[in-house]
Amino acid sequence: MLKISSKDLKDGKIEKVFNFFRKRSLHMLHYCTGCGAVELPPTMTSRYDMERFGIGPMATPRQSDILLITGYVGVKTLKRIVRSYEQMPDPKWVIGFGSCPINGGSYWDSYATINHLDKYIPVDLSLAGCMPRPQVVLDGMLKLKDLIGKGEAIGYKKYKLNYAWYKKNQDDVLERTTPLLGVHNG
């Protein structure tokens, strides 16, 4: 029988053991909103083969550890991304894939595109590029595994501690009722 003292829990020793095992079996949920989806199949096929590193795809958020946002994020899709993120069990991690989730990409000045995804959900790792090549995706996944093993990928904890801030940012966009391009003279 496993015995855990309160001192071990406070010191985080047991968390280190959990992280050792967590980083060895990761399941991704792809939220493919743009051209980033094109780079995922080569990353999973025989040339790069992410599954040899213990990273595989999953079909539902309730069994996923990683939420992979590939491509631009529209105002309409932000609600679904937040819902998917909140359905995922803890611990969970988010990877922003390409320049679109980081800063809006080529759609940066569009009223319908979300710039800076990290204002709405915590992003643990951002992969730069338009679109990142499979080598970069694999390197990013390995970097995330290292962060998990060290206990430094803690976006899900930040989300819980700062939920009011994230929720306010989400509501500012999702519950917007005035037009952005000027006053509507109906």
* Beta-bridge partner residues of 31: 69
How many whole angstroms separate alpha carbon 107 and alpha carbon 111? 9
User: If we measure between CA atoms, which residue out of 129, 126, 110, 109 comes closest to residue 118?
Assistant: 126
Residue ranges in the chain whose pLDDT is less than 50: 1-2, 4, 9-10
- Predicted local confidence at residue 182, as pLDDT: 58
Half-sphere exposure of 158 (CA within 13 A, CB side): 15
Q: In what order do the strands lie in the sheet with 26-32?
A: 55-57, 26-32, 66-70, 93-97, 125-127
Tokens representing residue 140 in the block: 């990013």
- Predicted local confidence at residue 102, as pLDDT: 78
Q: Where exactly are the structural domains of the chain? A: 20-167
Domain with residues 20-167, CATH architecture: 3-Layer(aba) Sandwich (3.40)
- pTM, entire model: 0.80
How many whole angstroms separate alpha carbon 141 and alpha carbon 64? 14
